[in-house]
Amino acid sequence: MWENFFVIFRNRIEPILSQSLAFATLTTASLIFTTLSLSFKADAQTLTVNNTEVTNYAQSVLAMEPKRQQAFEEIKKLIGGKEIPKIVCNDPKSMSSLPNKAKDIAVEYCNHSQKIVEDHGLSIDRFNQITLEIQNNNALKKEVYNTLLRIQNAPKPKFGDPNAR
């Protein structure tokens, strides 16, 4: 189930996410910026994540998806029938087996994703903390999952709508 983040989504995002795609989106987020050097104590501490952070996290994950799909397709073409390795943005070694052009695509995707996270009001460290907490906290995982669905099901403002942001 914890495949590399380029493999999890193979279909295009439809205007409304299905429940399984929302779960896959959440799974992808759990892999994108996982910080290997973060060390949390093994005690039962629970990270407090407020509603704004949950929304910002979900919006970040959804905003990353189109570029992730594009990067996956480009890398897949470059490496042919070979398996795409698990790519972790903050682990350059995870990209070492890729051809140079594919590495460039992966790095560009990672840089783009980092900007998206920051543009949605989260630091990379905070995004990583939430990602790790989601893996261990079913209540938070469900909250993010429901937020992903809510965002996708929200009516889209029409062009020229004075009420649009």
Residue 70, pLDDT above cutoff 50: yes
Assessment of whether the complete model's pTM goes beyond 0.75: no
Q: Are 120 and 147 in contact (CB under 8 A)?
A: no
Q: What is the arithmetic mean of pLDDT over 32-55?
A: 62
Q: What is the mean pLDDT of the chain?
A: 77
Residue 78: per-residue pLDDT: 93
Residue 103: per-residue pLDDT: 94
* CA distance readout (Å), 52 to 56, 58, 99: 6, 10, 39
Residue 77, pLDDT above cutoff 90: yes
